[in-house]
Structure 1
Amino acid sequence: MPRGPHHYESKGACIYCGARDQSLTDEHIVPYSLGGSHVIRRASCLGCADMTKRFEQKVARDLWGDARTAYNAPTRRKRERRSHIAVADPDDRSRVLSIPATEYPAGFVFYQMGKAGLLQGLPEQLDLSAAWRLVVVSDDKRRAEYHERHPGKLALQFRHVPDAFGRLLCKIAYCQVLTALDPGDFRPICLPFITGARTNLSFVVGSSEGKPEPENGYSLSTMAFGSGSKLMLIAQVRLYANTSAPTYHVVVGDVSGRYDVGRVVEKLGPQDEIPPTSRPWFPDILPLPFWTSR
């Protein structure tokens, strides 16, 4: 994905429901509230735009609200942005501390997941999300300065929203693949998880272990594996990549048939020459039961 703001042309229909006879709005691949600057033009009908907005807001406000305020993340409501963050005193929960936003070392809470269930050859009925762990990315320097000013008064505030977070990753990954492909080029495996028609997000979403090297902004990429007649499309998503944030993978879709696989491979262009076993999203077994059962 190119650095800096970039626009991709409309697909001529809503990328989520396929509606053509309605007004279509632009779709930020990564939400604007999370710093997204890449946009698919006229990509979402009003109903689907409202659907994605709901889970995007849960992540932006409930999971990362204080952190976005503390680090002055983009917002369309700048006049409403708080100058102070209210923090419950850890030693007296009835007392509220008002901390200047520029001093508060709010952490970005992420979910560490393990490999997506589909890529482990597991059935969709097996939900792995109970094993997702919380990890916090914060500014060490600001946290140390805060402790000097307010010893023992640091409290992390957030709301647990694993479903919204997983759906957000699916939406970003789906849009990432659509920067190179059209909706009709592949079967969109992750789409029912975006819309909420299917709910076991751990089946298609996962993350790698370890702390990757910092990058600028966010990092998105499209990967593929398979054969000349069957191809699986994977998108890697890393938000706030300038920190030690996890790298996520999403099973976006698949392609069947030699002609269609060849056309998709041509559109995607050359893939990085990385040994399959060194890719954290590479399947544990091949062929995948997901494919052989269809």
Structure 2
Amino acid sequence: MILMEYDVDGDSPRHLPSPGKCIYCKEAGVELTDEHVVPFAIGKDATILDKSCCVVCQRIIQPYEQSVLRHQLGHFRASVEAPTRKPKDRFTSLPLEFVEANEKGEPIRELGKREIPIAAAPLILNLWQSPPPGVLGIPIDPAFAEGRPFRYVESKVADPILKAVAAEAGIAHVGFKLRPVNRLHYLRTLAKTAHAYVAAELGVDAFNPYLTDIILNRSDDIARYVGDLSGVASLEGATGHTFKIALGEVPEDAGIGKGKIAVFMQFWGELGSPPHLVIVGETLIDMQAYFAARGNGGLIAA
């Protein structure tokens, strides 16, 4: 597999030609806007599919996608100086809520909130980790059926702050009260990104999509096609990149039939983040011939 590596600070935008229709609803003859396959706030201009999203679909997608990029990831993105269209609106401080905890780490009472300048604040990454996509038929623990939040907190910066608050309050244990993650918004954004990536790289008519109703807010059956699975992509883990995405064909021995397209994604893998896997649809082309001809199965943003 030959990778395309994109430097968000230096490389020119990568534009792909318009498919002539919306990649989500497939309507043609309507007003279309350019679509950032990887959201601008993560990958800047790594891949732009020109005139490929209709205004109606854009209005459906934008609220949940922006909720993830701004509210869930906004402070983290400010800390790592991720791309932004509005530099003047970038967060300059991180609001941290503190709680007293018992010896088991369970919260006892709230201790209030403090604003910490971004430069002095710990990195805090809030994502969602899930079981494998349900369509794969892999047994899962019922208690983990919907997954759970994934949290990364930069302990070398966070610990001195927590110790200082504990000393001021005269208590033994202090922790952070972290923001909740909207599971549906996050997984829906993964579905949208995976679908857009396949449409851009293979073509909107090269596959039968599974995710349209999920992307357009008509279905919440997300766990069937969107989840996590380790060991499926050579890109997984620490590689020094902010975002990684790759597509491939699900092996026939997985038991879900021939020609199923899977997309792997990982945000900030250096921090041990979940390896996401999305089953996007059924291919209508010869995938092996595609890979042989193009020699390209992934994109990483530096």
TM-score by length of 2: 0.75
1:157 pairs, out of 178, 182, 189, with 178
Mapping for residues 71-220 of structure 1, pairs under 5 Å: 71-90=80-99, 93=110, 95-120=112-137, 130-147=145-162, 150-151=165-166, 155-209=176-230, 212-220=237-245
Paired-residue identity, %? 21
Bigger fraction of residues in strand: 2
Q: Deviations over 1:195-230 (max 9, x none)?
A: 122211100011025983344121111110356x94
CA contact (8 A) 1:223 1:271 kept: no
Letter in 2 for 1:29: V
Mapping for residues 229-248 of structure 1, pairs under 5 Å: 230-248=258-276
What is aligned with 1:13?
A: 21
CA contact (8 A) 1:106 1:156 kept: no
Tell me the secondary structure at the aligned position of residue 200 of structure 2.
coil
CA distance in 2, matches of 1:246, 1:35: 18
Identify unmatched segments of 5+ residues in structure 1.
273-294
CA contact (8 A) 2:18 2:51 kept: yes
Most deviating of 196-205 and 156-165 = 156-165
What is aligned with 2:282?
A: 254
CA distance in 2, matches of 1:131, 1:220: 23
CA distance in 1, matches of 2:145, 2:138: 18
In the TM superposition, residue 79 of structure 1 has moved relative to its aligned partner by 1.3
1:221 matched to 2:230: no
1:23 matched to 2:31: yes
User: CA distance change for structure 1 residues 157 and 128 in 2, over 3 Å: closer, same or farther?
Assistant: closer
User: CA distance change for structure 1 residues 35 and 153 in 2, over 3 Å: closer, same or farther?
Assistant: farther
CA contact (8 A) 1:90 1:153 kept: yes
What is aligned with 2:288?
A: 265
In the TM superposition, residue 173 of structure 1 has moved relative to its aligned partner by 0.9
CA distance in 2, matches of 1:221, 1:245: 16
In the TM superposition, residue 265 of structure 1 has moved relative to its aligned partner by 3.4
CA distance in 2, matches of 1:46, 1:268: 33
In the TM superposition, residue 95 of structure 1 has moved relative to its aligned partner by 4.0
CA contact (8 A) 1:7 1:41 kept: yes
Tell me the secondary structure at the aligned position of residue 180 of structure 1.
helix
Aligned-pair Cα RMSD in Å: 3.0
CA contact (8 A) 1:87 1:99 kept: yes
What is aligned with 2:9?
A: none
CA distance in 1, matches of 2:183, 2:133: 14
Identify unmatched segments of 5+ residues in structure 2.
7-12, 101-108, 167-172, 296-302
CA contact (8 A) 1:110 1:136 kept: yes
TM-score by length of 1: 0.77
